[in-house]
Structure 1
Amino acid sequence: MKIDFEITTTRLILRPYKIVDLNDLLDAVKASVTQLNPWLTWCTEDYDQQDAYEWINASRQNWQNDISYEVAIFERHSGLLVGSISLNNVSIPLNSAELGYWIRTASQQQGFATEACQALSNFAFNTLGLTRLEIVTHTGNLASQRTALACKAKFECTARNRIFSPDKVCDGIVFSLIPEDLRPNERVVPTK
């Protein structure tokens, strides 16, 4: 898929990461370690420019090869990078993907995650033609669970050992979205 893709919503611009976003990404991660690290083990005080550079390059390769779609979330009026959202674990045989997101601490509780999830879900269903998205959260990550519900995702189960990282394996709360779950006014058309 073309990497110059962009989605504009009421308050946000979503687009693939670019190398010029390196310092903005680093700032967002560093400012949010305390809140994000319990759920995202890569988000540590040690995260540095090299980590951000490697991640941006990998995300661009993944996008170009239709492996996963990592997207930067910018506040439309200020240009501030408020977080990240992705479609990952894309499965062609299952016609599905996982939807994951994080929002920098200073931008939390403003509905940005919900707005971004609705826009990227629309892209997944209407542009990629997927028929199912899963949102998997840690059992203790109540903010992400509230976001999933605000996006009209349906709770499916608590899956044992569903979340795996090099540091730990833990249970996950699984939500799902299908095209019929989108509200009519959420059908966003990509601008590029």
Structure 2
Amino acid sequence: MKLDFELMTERLYLRPYKNADVLSLVDAIHTSQEALSPWLTWCTPDYDQHDAHEWIHASQQNWLYDVSYEFAIFDRETDEFVGSTALSNLSELGNSGELGYWIRESAQRRGFATEACAAISQFAFLTVGLTRLEIVTHTGNLASQRTALACRAQFECTARNRIVMHDKVVNGLLFSLIPTDIL
């Protein structure tokens, strides 16, 4: 898949990460650390430009080899970096993938995660050709659960030992999307 790919929504544009996003990514993580760190192990106060550069490089390689698709999310009006969404854990056998997302704290509670997830879900089904997406949330992450439901994902189960968090295995809530849910 090409790295110049872009998805547009009413208020957002989503595109693969570029090297120029390093400072915006680091800033979003630092200013959102308190809100995101309970759910994202890599969201720490010592996350720096080197970490961001390494992650962006890995993300670009993932796109080139169709391993996963990470999108930087931007506000169309302000051009501000507002977060990230990704298709990962792609399974050829199951023709499925996992949908993940996070929004910087200053842009939360504005529907950006729902809007971005709708766009990446259409990309997954129409462009990548997947037939199932899974969203796995921490049992205590109510905002992420609300986003999954707002995206029309169906709650399926509490998946035992589904998430590894700080070397501890915990349960996760499993939601799924199939093409008929959104198309």
Same fold by TM-score, threshold 0.5 exceeded?
yes
Q: Deviations over 1:94-114 (max 9, x none)?
A: 100000000000000000000
Residue 166 of structure 1, CA deviation: 5.1
Q: Where does residue 68 of structure 1 map in the other structure?
A: 68
Partner of 2:101: 101
Aligned to 1:54: 54
Does the CA-based 8 Å contact 1:41-1:167 persist in structure 2? no
The whole-number CA distance in structure 2 between the counterparts of 1:92 and 1:72 is 25
Partner of 2:170: 170
Compute the RMSD of aligned alpha carbons: 0.8
Higher relative contact order (CA 8 A, sep 6+): 1
Q: How many residue pairs end up in the alignment?
A: 183
Distance 2:136 2:157 in 1: 10
For 1:87 and 1:164, the matched residues in 2 are separated by 18
**C-alpha distance in 1, partners of 2:102/2:89?**
17
Q: Matched residue of 2:86: which SS?
A: strand
Q: Offset of 1:169 from its aligned partner?
A: 1.3
**Equivalence for 2:154:** 154
Report deviation, 1:3: 1.1
Match of 1:189 in 2: none
* Whole-Å separation in 2 of the counterparts to 1:161 and 1:107: 31
Q: Tell me by how many angstroms 1:168 deviates.
A: 2.0
Counterpart of 1:124, as a letter, is A
Normalised to the residue count of structure 2, the TM-score between the two structures is 0.98
Identity %: 66
Matched letter for residue 179 of structure 1: P
Identify unmatched segments of 5+ residues in structure 2: none
Alignment check: 8 A CA contact 1:8 1:14 kept: yes
| Contact 1:35 1:105 (8 Å CA) reproduced | yes
Q: Distance in 1 between matches of 2:118 and 2:40?
A: 22
Deviations 1:41-75 (A, max 9, x none): 10000100000000000000011100010100000
Q: Which residue of structure 2 lines up, in the alignment, with residue 11 of structure 1? A: 11
In 2, the alpha carbon distance for the partners of 1:166 and 1:3 equals: 32
Q: Which runs of 4+ in 1 moved over 4 A?
A: none
